[in-house]
């Protein structure tokens, strides 16, 4: 049996169209976009074409897209860059949900070290932010509120439209990390009034090492690194034209195929979810009571040891994870499940994340393998 990759939330295989878009820039088209000669002009044109594609995919203007080294840097630039720009104007706090990716949480804590009051907003048992609780936070006039579009571990969609509207009404800058949501649900900055929004190429069939921050025109940010004037001065350094070209194509395809792909993935995920719940005694879907991304299934399974389960599945050819890649290897309870009150002793939570290459046949195989492996691991433990 061919191994089955169900860890698309960690990263995705590069699409052939993306690879083809990247290769010329690793070869003859090697120019620096800041150079004024023909090599430079050619590189500049390619970079701006990539920016146009990303902007189009998000419903943004080309000049509102800042290329970064990935989702992590985009999140840091949004939260920390916004804090540093706003603190001079009297901003005293930064706020985010308790289930943000570590990139946002880390940036929030860094702002805290620089004197910001760091506010963490609670979520309910399904991993969804309580919008009502936001009003008190907005009264503190935070420099930025950061609420992810959808969570990377349990897949729950956050009420970003309501949050955006409240932030807008209060005159508070709103950032959303859409790294997992983009390409799976509609993410349009012309429909939802976010001020800042992060995406990452390697989650949508693009290359690792590049992402983008959407910065609504007029939003003040301070760069985190200093140097030249590239990327509007917000991200100095010679641009990676090759990776940007790849991201442009990946973003365009992801937006174009989103609706159809979401329908396909939801059907596969629902089939997997239903069958595993039927066959694994006492398994519980984390976030199951809330609207979720179509590609993620997070299951708590009592009576199995985390590493034993993951290793046994890997040996059977099934690659899944226990949440965010950043946590793999570190045995600590997931901050997301903790915030949901779902990090229970004696339970292991596993994440199945489907993607463009996932087939019905693979899902049927996984439905056969996983319950058998769980039973074996439970017997060994018991
Ligand atoms: C929600 C979320 N935000 C940010 C990131 C970080 O993105 P990158 O790997 O491009 O730094 C990830 C990646 O796991 C993610 O899932």
User: Which candidate, 286, 271, 211, places its Cα nearest to that of 246?
Assistant: 211
Q: What is the mean pLDDT of residues 67-85?
A: 98
| Residue to substitute in 179, 202, 210, 323 for testing ligand 1 pocket (most ligand atoms within 8 angstroms of CB) | 179
pLDDT above 50 (res 227): yes
The answer to whether the beta carbons of residues 103 and 76 sit under 8 Å apart is yes
pLDDT at 349 (0 to 100):
95
- CA 100 to ligand 1: nearest atom: 1
Expressed in angstroms and rounded, the spacing between residue 9 Cα and the centre of ligand 1 is 9
Share of the chain above pLDDT 70, in %: 97
- CA 324 to ligand 1: nearest atom: 14
* Three-class DSSP category at 120: strand
Q: What is the mean pLDDT of residues 185-190?
A: 98
pLDDT above 70 (res 277): yes
pLDDT at 324 (0 to 100):
44
**Which residues form the pocket of ligand 1, taking CB atoms under 6 Å from any ligand atom?**
70-72, 75, 101, 103, 148, 152, 177, 179-180, 200, 202, 211, 324-325
| Residue to substitute in 69, 76, 102, 180 for testing ligand 1 pocket (most ligand atoms within 8 angstroms of CB) | 180
pLDDT above 50 (res 218): yes
Q: How far is CA 69 from its chain centroid?
A: 14
The answer to whether the beta carbons of residues 154 and 128 sit under 8 Å apart is no
Q: What is the mean pLDDT of residues 337-354?
A: 93
pLDDT at 331 (0 to 100):
61
What burial class does residue 139 get, using C-beta atoms within 10 Å of its C-beta: 0-12 exposed, 13-18 middle, 19+ buried? exposed
Q: What is the pLDDT of residues 98-117, one digit of tens each?
A: 999 999 999 999 999 999 99
Expressed in angstroms and rounded, the spacing between residue 138 Cα and the centre of ligand 1 is 26
The answer to whether the beta carbons of residues 111 and 80 sit under 8 Å apart is yes
pLDDT above 60 (res 362): yes
Q: What is the mean pLDDT of residues 294-314?
A: 94
Query: Would you place residue 325 in the very low, low, confident or very high pLDDT band (cuts 50, 70, 90)?
Result: very low
Q: Which residue has the higher pLDDT, 237 or 330?
A: 237
The helix (run of H) or strand (run of E) holding residue 162 is helix 160-170
- The CA-CA-CA angle for residues 367, 369, 370, to 5°, reads 75
Q: What is the mean pLDDT of residues 78-88?
A: 94
The answer to whether the beta carbons of residues 211 and 14 sit under 8 Å apart is no
245 — alpha (psi -120 to 50), left (phi > 0) or beta?
A: alpha
Spatial strand order in the sheet of 347-353 = 284-285, 296-302, 347-353
- CA 208 to ligand 1: nearest atom: 10
Tokens of 144: 């930025």
Q: What is the mean pLDDT of residues 68-96?
A: 93
Query: Would you place residue 329 in the very low, low, confident or very high pLDDT band (cuts 50, 70, 90)?
Result: low
Expressed in angstroms and rounded, the spacing between residue 168 Cα and the centre of ligand 1 is 25
18-22, 78-82, 129-133, 367-371: least confidently modelled range: 129-133
Share of the chain above pLDDT 90, in %: 91
Strand 93-97 versus strand 65-68 pairing type: unpaired
Q: What is the pLDDT of residues 107-158, one digit of tens each?
A: 999 999 999 999 999 999 999 999 988 999 999 999 999 999 999 999 999 9
pLDDT at 80 (0 to 100):
98
> Which residue has a Cα nearest atom 4 of ligand 1?
71
88-97, 124-133, 283-292: least confidently modelled range: 88-97
Q: What is the mean pLDDT of residues 287-307?
A: 96
User: Which candidate, 327, 310, 328, 293, places its Cα nearest to that of 370?
Assistant: 310
Mean pLDDT of the chain: 95
DSSP for residue 280? S
96 is a catalytic site residue: no
pLDDT at 326 (0 to 100):
45
Expressed in angstroms and rounded, the spacing between residue 273 Cα and the centre of ligand 1 is 24
Write the DSSP string, 240-255. -HHHHHHHHHHHHHHH
Domains of the chain: which residue ranges? 4-11+258-381, 16-254
Strand 145-146 versus strand 174-177 pairing type: parallel
pLDDT above 90 (res 58): yes
Topology of the domain comprising 4-11+258-381? 3.90.1150
pLDDT at 323 (0 to 100):
57
Mutual angle of helices 241-279 and 38-58, in 10-degree steps: 30
Expressed in angstroms and rounded, the spacing between residue 332 Cα and the centre of ligand 1 is 19
Say which residues have a Cβ less than 8 Å from residue 93's Cβ, sequence separation at least 6: 116, 117, 118, 119, 137, 140, 141, 142, 143
pLDDT at 184 (0 to 100):
98
> Which residue has a Cα nearest atom 5 of ligand 1?
71
- CA 151 to ligand 1: nearest atom: 1
Topology of the domain comprising 16-254? 3.40.640
Residues 220-225: contacts with CB under 8 Å, at least 24 apart: 220/82, 220/85, 220/86, 221/77, 221/78, 221/81, 221/82, 221/85, 221/196, 222/81, 222/84, 222/85, 223/77, 223/81, 224/73, 224/76, 224/77, 224/80, 224/81
DSSP for residue 324? -
pLDDT above 90 (res 359): yes
Tokens of 130: 């309580």
pLDDT above 80 (res 295): yes
Q: What is the mean pLDDT of residues 276-286?
A: 97
User: Does pTM top 0.85 for this prediction?
Assistant: yes
Catalytic residue among 96, 167, 173, 326: 326
């Amino acid at each position: 049996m061919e191994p089955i990759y169900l860890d698309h939330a960690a990263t995705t295989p590069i699409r052939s169209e993306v690879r083809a878009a990247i290769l010329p820039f690793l070869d003859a088209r090697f120019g620096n976009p800041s150079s004024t000669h023909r090599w430079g002009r050619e590189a500049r044109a390619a970079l701006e074409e990539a920016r146009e594609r990303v902007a189009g995919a998000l419903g943004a203007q080309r000049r509102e897209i800042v290329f970064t080294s990935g989702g992590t840097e985009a999140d840091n630039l949004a939260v920390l860059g916004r804090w540093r720009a706003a603190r001079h104007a009297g901003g005293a706090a930064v706020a985010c949900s308790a289930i943000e990716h570590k990139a946002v949480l880390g940036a929030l804590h860094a702002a805290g070290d620089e004197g910001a009051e760091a506010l963490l907003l609670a979520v309910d048992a399904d991993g969804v932010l309580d919008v009502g609780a936001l009003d008190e936070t907005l009264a503190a006039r935070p420099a930025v509120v950061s609420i992810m579009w959808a969570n990377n571990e349990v897949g729950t969609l956050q009420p970003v439209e309501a949050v955006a509207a409240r932030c807008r009404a209060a005159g508070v800058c709103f950032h959303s990390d859409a790294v997992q949501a983009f390409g799976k649900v509609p993410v349009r900055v012309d429909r939802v009034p976010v001020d800042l929004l992060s995406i990452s190429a390697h989650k949508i069939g693009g290359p690792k090492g590049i992402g983008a921050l959407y910065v609504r025109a007029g939003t003040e940010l301070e760069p985190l690194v200093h140097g030249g004037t590239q990327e509007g001065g917000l991200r100095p350094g010679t641009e990676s034209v090759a990776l940007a070209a790849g991201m442009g194509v990946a973003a365009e395809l992801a937006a174009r195929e989103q609706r159809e792909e979401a329908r396909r993935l939801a059907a596969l995920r629902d089939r997997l979810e239903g069958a595993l719940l039927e066959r694994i005694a006492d398994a519980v879907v984390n976030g199951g009571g809330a609207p979720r991304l179509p590609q993620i299934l997070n299951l708590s399974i009592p009576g199995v040891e985390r590493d034993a389960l993951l290793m046994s599945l890997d040996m059977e050819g099934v690659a899944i994870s226990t949440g965010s890649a950043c946590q793999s290897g570190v045995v600590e309870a997931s901050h997301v499940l903790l915030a949901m009150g779902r990090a229970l002793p004696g339970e292991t939570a596993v994440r199945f994340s489907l993607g463009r290459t996932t087939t019905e046949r693979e899902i049927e195989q996984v439905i056969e393998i996983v319950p058998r492996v769980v039973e074996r691991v439970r017997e060994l433990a018991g």
